[in-house]
Amino acid sequence: MSLGCKYGTHRVIEPKGVLPQAAQKIDNDMNIRDNEILVDVIALNIDSASFTQIANACEHDVEKIKEMITGIVAERGKMQNPVTGSGGMLIGTVKEIGSALKDKVAIKEGDKIATLVSLSLTPLKINSIKKVYPEIDRVEIDGTAILFESGIYAKLPDDMTENLALAALDVAGAPAQTAKLVRPGDKVLVLGGSGKSGMMCVYEAKKRVGPTGRVVALVSREATKERLATLGFADEIIVANVQAPIEVLDKALAANNGEEYDISINVVNVPNAEMSTILPVRDGGIVYFFSMATSFTKAALGAEGVGKDVTMIVGNGYTKDHAEITLAELRESDKLREIFEKLYL
């Protein structure tokens, strides 16, 4: 029996001794070990911060975007943006399950799944890129990928299209963590509230705070403010430059009757938003950084520099039951499902 490390270290080429996510290059040979799963890939959902960086670097030229993504995967054996360090996730069809896993997994060959581990650690081979959807950070490909024994995934549900499920599962960690962090009566600020993860976080936060709480969403443009307003999830929506912390602080406090917040949630896709996330939160409050554009050095030193005693949480893309919690939102809210179907299909 040919077994690899359950965490995939047997595929690390360089530097030796690190896990696949931290590696500069991994082995993307598609002959699987007995404890690996081979997937025929349908589409990649590139992490928003990563796709934004790539699109800007390519001046939004689709052919150049294709070349850059193909080049990254060819060089690294995985889709990990060398600037942001982030990846994304994929959907595909299970092609082969290693003999050591066949009796341990709840999927079978032929099932469509969404991987819930980052592309930044997933062995990937791209034969060709069929189409790029810049407006939703999605890339359709002909290719294959490998899941390690420790990899997590979700079988695509029967009551929604695969594209709708993918759009939600792509950001499953954010609304699920919001569900676990927010308590009745909390005052919550969501930065990036009109994006995919933002809308789900605003919805989940409003559901959790109850009648005595308050949810304020920050967006970057009037157009996205209007879109979010139609959903009716936020108590107030403010438009501000998330990279201008004092502007954000002033507008955020004004939207909360001059009071600081219990929790702030950062789901933006641009850098230098750390202090805008930290400043509006009270001492003893919680700051949740889901954005992969976050510099945790800037966050830690910035909080120290302004004397903020806050608990800062790294945006782990996985939390227990996150797929179930996130898909439940689309089943609960017709408005949320309708706008996801309009924007992300």
Question: Tens of pLDDT along 290-322?
Answer: 988 899 899 999 999 999 999 999 987 788 889
- Alpha-carbon gap, residue 242 to 231, rounded angstroms: 22
Question: Tens of pLDDT along 72-81?
Answer: 999 999 999 9
Question: Tens of pLDDT along 125-168?
Answer: 999 999 999 998 999 999 999 999 999 999 999 899 888 888 88
Query: Could you tell me which CATH class the domain 173-344 is placed in?
Result: alpha beta
**Complete DSSP assignment for 24-62:** SEE-------TT-EEEEEEEEEE-HHHHHHHHHHTTT-H
**Where does the pLDDT of residue 34 fall: very low under 50, low under 70, confident under 90, or very high at 90 and above?**
very high
Domain boundaries, the chain: 9-156, 173-344
Question: Tens of pLDDT along 36-78?
Answer: 999 999 999 999 889 999 999 999 999 999 999 999 999 999 9
Question: Tens of pLDDT along 243-258?
Answer: 999 999 999 999 999 9
Tell me the whole-structure pTM to 2 decimals: 0.82
Contacts with 98 (C-beta within 8 Å, 6 or more apart), sequence order: 32, 33, 34, 35, 36, 37
- Considering only CA atoms, which of 115, 100, 265 is closest in space to residue 197? 265
